[in-house]
Amino acid sequence: MSTETKRRPARDRILDTASELFFTHGIHAVGVDRLIAESGVAKATLYKHFPGKDDVVSAYLRRMDSNWRGHLRAAALAGGEDPRDQLRGVFTALERTAREGRLGCAFINAVAEYQPGSAVHAVAAEHKHAVRAWVRDLAAAAGAADPDTLALQLTLLIDGTLAATRVEHAGSVATAARQAAHTMIDVACGSAR
């Protein structure tokens, strides 16, 4: 472990390690002992910050939520001032993300490993609901006749794209999703104002 890495706060090192390991190997496949060993912290330090592994997982997902929603907002704003262009911008960024090799979805992975009603499942579901609410607000601002339906369709397309990039050529999947999203937005909001 580098000196610079050792200087990072222990909590950050634990979450950095969890992010890499959970996303690459799956949450249940990574034990606490591996988290401790690879983050370079003592067992007591891990438990000081996180009473149990599910607490690490929930914190990891909250961090991913903040990062991913920030990424989506930045992509929307980069699309322009028109809310329709902002909706399109999300899919342009998704395409760029796939081409850069960042594949899959931490939240889809988490709900696949945890039962509804568990704390981890709740954190992942909360993220998905927050993203859909944000897309719904953009859809309403864009003039969608039914912003709830458009938000559901677009977030299903985002989630499907993230999942499909794990089994298909990521760039092709993301390009197809961008094209489909543009058509859906044009139909729901009108192609021009």
Cα 28 from Cα 47, distance rounded (Å): 18
Please tell me the predicted confidence (pLDDT) of residue 15. Answer: 97
- Give yes or no for residue 49 having a pLDDT over 90: yes
1-51 folds as Arc Repressor Mutant, subunit A (1.10.10)
pTM listed for this prediction: 0.90
Contacts of 63 (CB under 8 A, 6+ apart): 15, 19
Q: How confident is the model at residue 168 (pLDDT cuts 50, 70, 90)?
A: confident
| Helix residue spans in 100-169 (DSSP H) | 106-113, 119-141, 147-164
Region(s) of the chain under CATH 1.10.10.60: 1-51
CATH number of 54-189: 1.10.357.10
- Look at residue 187 in the predicted model and tell me its pLDDT: 96
